[in-house]
Amino acid sequence: MTIHSILLGFVLAILIGAGFHLLRGGSLQRLVLHLLAANLSFFIGQWLSELIHWQFLRVGAINLFPSILATAIGLVLTTTLAGEEPEKNGKKKPRRKRRK
């Protein structure tokens, strides 16, 4: 990969991570978590697609579809594993009770 491909990959991953954070909401710490997870999973997806020779929707040296798919999976897994975000006073948000 060239430096241009790497920079394009970072830009795409940051845009996807920021868009995901915009949809999910949260604090500045969650934004940083989403951006890190997006970048890491984007380049893992790129690496895996090169490893198994899966070339679908290429832009230069970047395999867009596998990279974006890996980013989406990585962001969902990160959000699931991170759990609910605590409130500012340190307590978790109370769950709503379901009526029967």
| pLDDT tens per residue, range 77-95 | 999 998 887 776 655 556 6
What pLDDT was estimated at residue 7? 92
Nearest to 15 by CA among 66, 80, 72, 73: 72
* Confidence at 20, pLDDT banded by 50, 70, 90: very high
Q: Specify the higher pLDDT residue, 83 or 34.
A: 34
Q: What are phi and psi of 62, to 5 degrees?
A: -100, 130
d(CA 82, CA 77) in angstroms, rounded, equals: 8
Nearest to 63 by CA among 36, 85, 45: 45
pLDDT at 3 over 70: yes
d(CA 60, CA 81) in angstroms, rounded, equals: 33
What DSSP designation does 34 have? H
What pLDDT was estimated at residue 100? 64
What pLDDT was estimated at residue 96? 66
Q: What are phi and psi of 69, to 5 degrees?
A: -60, -45
Residue recorded with tokens 């890996």:
70
